[in-house]
Homo-oligomer: A and B are copies of this chain.
């Protein structure tokens, strides 16, 4: 089955190619009845304009790229879902690329985007990414760029995320309000900006309540191997701890297991709270009290913002924040 072109329609209707083009675009220069006839023939031939030809002419590709560190884990699938939904609505393509948390790969993907005339890029940077030169290059080439979730300190590229510090404070203050004082805070890779923001929120919550924090209560997971073991050991060595905060779902599930292995009961022996996309808390038992950080919501908001940037809106630089809320379930 061959694909039909404007030329085919032109032949069948006796019009010229440009006449057909305008008829299909409802151009005022074309007589109404001609439009109807062309429309019918187009339907009959199952005509669809060739996107490559259109792109070639218009010089925009209708492609949005989402670059994520990984997708086979928490949060990112939902994020992708949210993005995908909005991109589809706008009639754009979404191409999805993974950096595998490697800066090298991330840079290569950016080059790929340049090559492919991608119009807009939503990127959650890798753990290794410590500068934005490659992103600025992309911007130089005319693409719109928006950082999501995992951000970097800069003023040249807008970013959308939650208020990391505040979300963490909320969680800790909830625990404090329940009478907890010795709260183990488990945080991700120190290199991520997100991690330091959340750690700050953790400390601020104690300050605000005139409480002090022992340094061994703030724990970083810098080694991806044996996360569970690291938590298990730390927890075993700290007798006074009555509550655990985890900054992400990935860490949450590991902490959950470590707690169970120690024979501790949630929430009676120990409370557990996390920042979460709201899925994992319902896999575990009891359900985990968490600060909801909806991936889908972030995705939708980010993609929507990106389209505003694409349509030429100015002054969108800087922070764009998503609200979070406490979901109180059985664990704290």
Contacts and interface: CB of A to CB of B under 8 A. Distances in A.
Interface of A: 1, 3, 48, 50-53, 55-56, 61, 70-73, 76-78, 80-81, 84-85, 88, 93-98, 114-117, 140-142, 253, 256-257, 260-261, 279-280, 282-285, 295-296
Contact of A283 (B1, B50, B81, B256): B256
A116 B51 contact: yes
A70 B85 CA distance: 11
A56 B48 contact: no
18 contacts: A1-B142, A3-B117, A51-B115, A51-B117, A52-B52, A52-B55, A53-B56, A71-B80, A71-B84, A72-B78, A80-B96, A84-B96, A94-B95, A94-B96, A96-B96, A253-B283, A257-B285, A260-B285
A1 B116 contact: no
A195 B92 CA distance: 35
Q: Report the copy number of this chain in the oligomer.
A: 2
Contacts of A142: 1
A88 B97 contact: yes
Nearest to A61: B52
Given A77-B76, A95-B95, A140-B1, A52 B48 contact: no
Contacts of A94: 95-96
Contacts of A284: 257, 283-284
B81 A98 contact: yes
Contact of A81 (B72, B117, B257, B261): B72
A179 to B, nearest CB: 26
A200 to B, nearest CB: 28
A283 B252 CA distance: 9
Given A84-B96, A98-B84, A115-B51, A72 B295 contact: yes
A238 B279 CA distance: 29
A69 to B, nearest CB: 11
Contact of A285 (B81, B117, B261, B295): B261
Contacts of A85: 98
Contact of A117 (B52, B141, B282): B52
Contacts of A76: 77
B61 A70 contact: no
